[in-house]
Amino acid sequence: MKRVLCLVSAALLSVPAFAADPLPALGADAAHISVSGLSSGAFMAVQYQVAYSASVIGAGIVAGGPYYCAAGQLANAALCMGQQAPAPDPAPMLAAARGFAAGRRIDALSNLVRQRVYVFSGTQDTVVRQKAVDATVAFYRLAGLPAANIAYVHTVPAGHAFITPAFGNACAANAAPYVSQCRVDGQGYDQAGALLQQIHGHLKPPAATLSGRIVAFDQRAFAAASSGMAAEGYLYVPAACRGGGCSIHVALHGCQQSAAKVGDDVYAHAGYNRWADSNAMLVLYPQVESSLLPFNPQGCWDWFAYTGPGYATRQAPQMKAIRAMVERLGQAR
């Protein structure tokens, strides 16, 4: 019996693992990127926006703190999440960014002035509290963004979540899958639409029926397992984008919110795809997974240096991976 079990085990181990397809080249516009995220994904969205500001047109920050808030120290995470006093001070964070820019480790900060940002903090969020998100808005103002370029939504009684008109938890929830439905002025709040329109300006109404499809793709072509990134990522491709010329939006999940944890609740139901479908926009959903090496048990994006001290610069493995994915989408078919 033991011999049979060994043979079966050997047979199972010999079955090849089938990787997802490569990320397709779709002739997209990789010079005008927008990015958004929740929680650790919001911290990462700020990092990507600042580090690659020459090619980013704007960002949507849902329950996230300012650039380089943790300064490479996990011990600073509670402060940056607003869990302890005092509130984060964005001045030294901007000074750090200026130093990185002077050393050409990130793009010139002058690029930020032309960008448009959407920032959201729910009044019932007990994970990343409002004073931390206030500091994000202060960071942008210190960086020179005009007041008209910043939309700060901070009166909705929402918990820690992406907000949709009609999918997910009750509005005030602070629980998995961290997608919740809220009503504002008697209507379901469409956060994906609000942030995309803040960044891109007036858009066509969201599609009632999706024309495209969600594809899984191989992330190992862009990031080793040691980066903390998962083996697969996801991409929404509207029918209109199969011929090239589409813009790209990068949507970043939060901690404990990868597809491995919550299935398709983010990449299929957070609301981005309906807006992308009617506005010729690809939506890229990179994925980070829980891991012990690197030590990232909650499956968070790196905003506190678990991949190394350069985590907030263009040299960081996760940052480089996302940029390489964007560049791949921009290549000719």
Catalytic entry in 29, 107, 125, 277: 125
Which structure tokens are listed for 329?
A: 């989408």
CA pair distance 128, 122, nearest whole angstrom: 9
265 labelled catalytic: no
Report the distance separating Cα 124 and Cα 75, nearest Å.
Answer: 24
**Of 55, 160, 200, 253, which one is the catalytic site residue?**
160
55 is catalytic: no
Tokens representing residue 296 in the block: 């990232």
**What is the spatial distance between Cα 81 and Cα 135, in angstroms, rounded to a whole number?**
10
Alpha helix ranges (H) inside the chain = 2-14, 40-51, 77-80, 90-102, 130-142, 191-200, 259-262, 272-278, 317-330
**Diameter over CA atoms, the chain:** 73
**Amino acid in position 92:** P
Residue 247 to residue 279: CA distance in whole angstroms: 9
- How is residue 10 written in tokens? 């050997």
From CA 143, how far away is CA 194, in angstroms rounded? 23
Q: What is the C-alpha to C-alpha distance for residues 255 and 257, in angstroms, rounded to an integer?
A: 5
Write down the catalytic residue from 39, 53, 227, 247: 39
Q: What is the DSSP letter of 75?
A: G
Question: Tokens for 116?
Answer: 């448009």
Q: Whose structure tokens read 């000719």?
A: 332
In one letter, which amino acid is 307? T
Residue 84: DSSP 8-state: S
39 has catalytic annotation: yes
- Give the alpha-carbon dihedral of 165, 170, 171, 174, to 10 degrees: -130
Active site residues: 39, 125, 160
